[in-house]
Chains A and B, each alone.
Chain A
Amino acid sequence: MPINVTSPGILTTIQDLGRPGYYHLGIPMGGAMDRLALIAANLLVGNPEGAAGLEAVFMGPDLEFTEDATVAVTGAHLPPLLNGVEQPCWTAFDVRSGDRLGFDFLKSGARAYIAVSGGIVTPLALGSRSTYAIGALGGYEGRALAPGDTLPIGKTKASGRAGLSVPRALRRAPGPAGELRVLPGLYWNRITETSQRAFFEDTWKVANEADRMGYRFQGGRTMEFVERQQPFGAGSDPSNITDACYPYGSVQVPSGTEPIILHRDAVSGGGYFMIGTVISADMDLIGQLQPNMETRFVEVDMEAALGARADRHAILGSLREALT
C-alpha cells in the first residue's frame, strides 16, 4: 500500500546511498547529499542503512499514508507535523493508515531526510533508487516528486521503535561558521600564492545556485593566475584546462571568480581548473548549507583528512550502536 504525495514541497527526491561504478560514463554516484542523516533516519525506523528515503530541500512534502508505518525525519530541522501535530526531529514515530504527514517551516539546515519503515521501493536503476534528474534515471520516473505520485513501500518486520531518538551529540550539522575542510591540490599551482592565501582567508557566501550537482560560493577575492601559454586543447581562458575528470567535492573556479564545489550529482568532467577538494568527511555538511550562509574554507593535509574520516566513521559506529 503506497504513500500518496499530495504536495512535493519545493524539491523532493527519492535517494539512497547512490550508484557507484558509472562515473567513467558520466553517471554520478548520486544518493543522499547528507549521508549520515539518511543513515540515521533509516536506523531509527529499522531499515537497512542504504534503504531509499526522501530528500526534501528547504520545505517538506505533504504525504498521505495508506498503511501503518514508522517514520523518522533527520538532517535539516524541518519539524514534521502528523495530522497537524508537531513531532520531534531525529526521532522515530508511528503513523496510521489515513494519517497525513506535513511539515512546519525550516528552522535550520537545508535538506531533511524522511525514512519510512520498509523503505521506498521504486525500481532499481543501475543498482540504486537514487534520483539522477539530469539523466532521467532512478527515483520516481527519473524525476523529482510531483502531486499525485504514489510511493511504493517495502515490507518490514520492525516495530516498537517509536520514541527511539538519535543522541544530540550524533546529530552532525555545520557549525555557525560553516567551515569546510579542503585539501589543496589538482591545479592549485595555477593561482598565485596571494590567491592561495586569499581563498582560505576570505569569508565566502553560498550563492543561490546550490543544488545536488554543486554549490557555488561568492564574496571572496577574484583569483590571479600564474601566467602561462595555454596548452593545446585547453581553451583560451586562464581557468581552462584540457577537459579532465572532476573529483566529487572538487572546487573549480571558472574565470577565477566564484568557486563551485561539485557534490553527489557532479558532472564527471569538464574544462575548468580545480584548486582542491573538500575532504570526504565534510561532504555531508555541504548539503545542509543554505544560500547566503557564510562559509570558510580550512586548509588541511592528507593526514588530517584521513583523521577527519576516522572521526566520521566513529560517529557512524556510535549511531549503529545507539539505534540497532
Chain B
Amino acid sequence: MTCRYTFGGDEHLFVEVDEAMSLEAFFVSLAITNILRDAKVEGVTEVCPANASFQIKFDPDRIHPTRLLGMVKEIEADASRTDSRLDTRIIEIPVYYQDPWTHGTLMRFRERHQDPGSTDIEFASRINGFEGVDDFVAAHSGAPWFVSMVGFVSGLPFLYQMVDRARQIEVPKYLRPRTDTPKLTVGYGGCFSCIYSVRGAGGYQMFGITPMPIYDPEQQVSYLKDFMVFFRPGDIVKWSPMDREAYDQTLEAVTNGQFEPRVRRVTFDLDEFNADIDRTNARLMEVLYAD
C-alpha cells in the first residue's frame, strides 16, 4: 500500500492510503495520523484521519508545503514498521431498528429512493441476499464495527464492519439526498454505517434509531459533560437491538442523567484479527460483556 499525496490548495495536504476501503488502509491512516499528532509539527494545525485516507491542515507561512510533504512521507515509511495493535474503547450502542420516526421520514422521501415499494431496510436486506429483515438485523448487529472516521457534520461517526469482504453489507445511497433525517438515525451508505448526530439532510439508507445522544453542544448529557462529541476514530462499536419499551426506558434514563453507555477498554490486534476474525470478535464481546 503506497500513499498518494496531493495538495488541497495552499493549506491542506491530502493523503490517499488506498482507493478502496479496508481495515488495513484504515490502520495505516490511523497510525500515520497518530504519529503526526504526537510529533506536534510546527505549522501543522489539524490532523484529520478518514476511512482510507487522511488530511493535514497546515499554515504555509510556518511550514513550506514541500517540507511538510517530505516529513509526512518519512512518517509513512516509519508507520509501516509500527505494530498492529491498537488500545481503544469498545462501546455498546442500543438500536431500535425499524422505528416509527425513521419510517415516517423514509415514507416522506420515497420518490428519491431506488425502490419506492419497500422500506430502506427491506431494500438493503434483499439486495444483500438476506432471507428477511430479521436476518439482516442479525448480521448488522452481529459482528462489531470500527469507527473509521468522525465527520461530515458534528461528531457523526462512520463505521466499518469487522468482517471479511464477502460478509460486508453494501447499499447505494438515496438517488437524491433527503432534506431531512431524524437525529440519531442509524444509517447506511456504501459499506459504511453511520449515526446522524444532528437532524438534517442525508443520503444514507435509514435502518433505525438509537436513544443514546452522541453530540451535545450544551454538554448536559451526563457522559458528554467533559466533551460534546462522543466518538473518536478507532472506537469499536457493537450494535445492540432493542424494542420500543427498552427504547422508551433508555430515553428516560438519558433524560434523567442516569444512562451510562457500556464502554470497556480493549486492545485490538490487526494481525490476530486477520488470522481468525470470528475468534477475535468473540474475544472483544467477552471484554464488553465480562461483568
Given contacts A26-B197, A242-B52, contact A279 B156 (CB under 8 A): no
**Within 8 Å of chain A (Cβ to Cβ): is B60?**
yes
User: Is B152 a contact of A24 with CB atoms below 8 Å?
Assistant: no
Q: Closest approach, in angstroms, between the C-beta of B223 and any C-beta of chain A?
A: 16
Given contacts A23-B57, A26-B151, contact A232 B229 (CB under 8 A): no
User: Is B14 a contact of A186 with CB atoms below 8 Å?
Assistant: yes
**Within 8 Å of chain A (Cβ to Cβ): is B132?**
no
Query: Which B residues lie within 8 Å of A278 (CB)?
Result: 9
Q: Closest approach, in angstroms, between the C-beta of A308 and any C-beta of chain B?
A: 8
**Within 8 Å of chain A (Cβ to Cβ): is B16?**
yes
A36-44, A97-105, A247-255: which lies at the interface:
A247-255
CA distance A232 to B166 in the complex (A): 11
User: Is A302 a contact of B7 with CB atoms below 8 Å?
Assistant: yes
A68-76, A134-142, A165-173: which lies at the interface:
A134-142
Query: Which A residues lie within 8 Å of B54 (CB)?
Result: 245
User: Is B190 a contact of A134 with CB atoms below 8 Å?
Assistant: no
Q: Within B1-30, which residues are at the interface with A (CB < 8 Å)?
A: 6-12, 14, 16, 18-22
CA distance A309 to B160 in the complex (A): 39
Given contacts A20-B45, A244-B51, A269-B149, contact A233 B20 (CB under 8 A): yes
User: Is B20 a contact of A231 with CB atoms below 8 Å?
Assistant: yes
CA distance A22 to B229 in the complex (A): 10
CA distance A51 to B7 in the complex (A): 31
| Cβ-neighbour of A279 out of B9, B154, B200 (below 8 A) | B9
Q: Closest approach, in angstroms, between the C-beta of A287 and any C-beta of chain B?
A: 16
Chain A 270-308 near chain B by CB (<8 Å), digits 1 or 0: 110010111111000000000000000000001001100
Query: Which B residues lie within 8 Å of A186 (CB)?
Result: 6, 8, 14
**Within 8 Å of chain A (Cβ to Cβ): is B92?**
no
CA distance A125 to B227 in the complex (A): 11
Whose C-beta in chain A lies nearest to the C-beta of B21?
Answer: A233
| Cβ-neighbour of A27 out of B55, B168, B229 (below 8 A) | B229
Chain A 211-238 near chain B by CB (<8 Å), digits 1 or 0: 0000000000000000000011111100
User: Is B6 a contact of A242 with CB atoms below 8 Å?
Assistant: no
**Within 8 Å of chain A (Cβ to Cβ): is B144?**
no
Whose C-beta in chain B lies nearest to the C-beta of A267?
Answer: B152
User: Is B191 a contact of A233 with CB atoms below 8 Å?
Assistant: yes
User: Is B151 a contact of A271 with CB atoms below 8 Å?
Assistant: no
**Within 8 Å of chain A (Cβ to Cβ): is B40?**
no
| Cβ-neighbour of A245 out of B21, B61, B151, B229 (below 8 A) | B151
User: Is A234 a contact of B154 with CB atoms below 8 Å?
Assistant: no
Query: Which A residues lie within 8 Å of B9 (CB)?
Result: 183, 185, 247-250, 276-280, 305
User: Is A306 a contact of B10 with CB atoms below 8 Å?
Assistant: yes
**Within 8 Å of chain A (Cβ to Cβ): is B173?**
yes
**Within 8 Å of chain A (Cβ to Cβ): is B32?**
no
Whose C-beta in chain B lies nearest to the C-beta of A247?
Answer: B8
Q: Closest approach, in angstroms, between the C-beta of B163 and any C-beta of chain A?
A: 13
Query: Which A residues lie within 8 Å of B160 (CB)?
Result: 233
User: Is A243 a contact of B192 with CB atoms below 8 Å?
Assistant: yes
**Within 8 Å of chain A (Cβ to Cβ): is B217?**
yes
**Within 8 Å of chain B (Cβ to Cβ): is A240?**
yes
B contact residues vs A (CB 8 Å cutoff)? 6-12, 14, 16, 18-22, 45-55, 57, 60-61, 65, 149-156, 158, 160, 165, 168, 172-173, 189-192, 197-198, 200, 215, 217, 228-229, 231, 233
Ranked nearest first, the 4 interchain pairs of A and B with the lowest CB-CB distance are A233-B21, A247-B8, A277-B9, A245-B55
A-B contact pairs, 20 of them (CB 8 A): A21-B45, A23-B48, A26-B151, A135-B154, A135-B217, A142-B217, A185-B14, A231-B20, A232-B165, A233-B192, A242-B18, A242-B52, A243-B158, A247-B55, A269-B48, A277-B7, A277-B9, A278-B9, A279-B10, A305-B9
